[in-house]
Amino acid sequence: MQTKKWKRVAAIATFVVTVLFVYHSTFAETATVSAGAPFVPVEDGNEAKAFTQIGDIYYFGTDGFEQDYEQAAIWYQKAADLGCAEAQCNLADCYIMGQGVNKDVLIAFELYQKSADAGNVRAISNVAACYSNGYGVTRNEAEAVKWYEKAAVAGDINSMRALGNHYYDGRGVPQNKADALKWYEKGAVFGDAQCQFNVGAMYLNGEGGLNKDEQQAIKWFEKAAAQDYEDAVETLKKLK
């Protein structure tokens, strides 16, 4: 069967504000009161952690409290002022999206940078995204690649995908589809649907040093389709 050269998923700079929802879903159990601000016990004198958790409660509207971005930003600011890297990253999200504060990409970038310098992996990835998009800093794809690699090595899946995109397109680095495949495969193993689709597309097209292999391509398309990834679903319809 003659195969069409399928287009790899468009390389969208990975500004991972959406990861905030995954990241915050793991915050610790908290005690609340029926009126006033949420009550969060301070463990081991860690006020910054408690303030961050209160910010989370307001940000997502949990524990019986209504969603209130303004209050979330206030509590994130309290924790950020105490040097909490997590809160700095969360507050940067508020500034980048204009949630509870006036939108300000310059402040957002500064906060992401502070958080990244303290080792927060999501912030490291978002510093990369800021460089890639020119948010709050001069656009610099080579610098973006440097920061994406830091985050990817630390296990950030969004950054693995972004690195694959940069190597595939030759943005900030010389084009190298073998390296693109390496990062897509890493993300695919962690279950990222777009990476799975891209690995499949590279098998189908025989890219990155791979021999064309439709069966391997279908295997990866099916993994992505199982997560309702639309491009994979449509591609499988055309192949079968």
pLDDT digits (tens, 9 = 90+) for 181-212: 999 999 999 999 999 999 999 999 999 999 99
Count helices and strands in the chain by DSSP H and E runs: 12, 0
Which residues have a Cβ under 8 Å from the Cβ of 95 and sit 6 or more positions away? 101, 103, 104, 105, 107, 108, 111
pLDDT digits (tens, 9 = 90+) for 97-134: 999 999 999 999 999 999 999 999 999 999 999 999 99
**Domains, the chain:** 1-15+156-240 (1.25.40.10), 17-140 (1.25.40.10)
Token pair listed for 226: 């199982």
Closest CA to 3 of 229, 203, 234, 195: 203
pLDDT digits (tens, 9 = 90+) for 136-187: 999 999 999 999 999 999 999 999 999 999 999 999 999 999 999 999 999 9
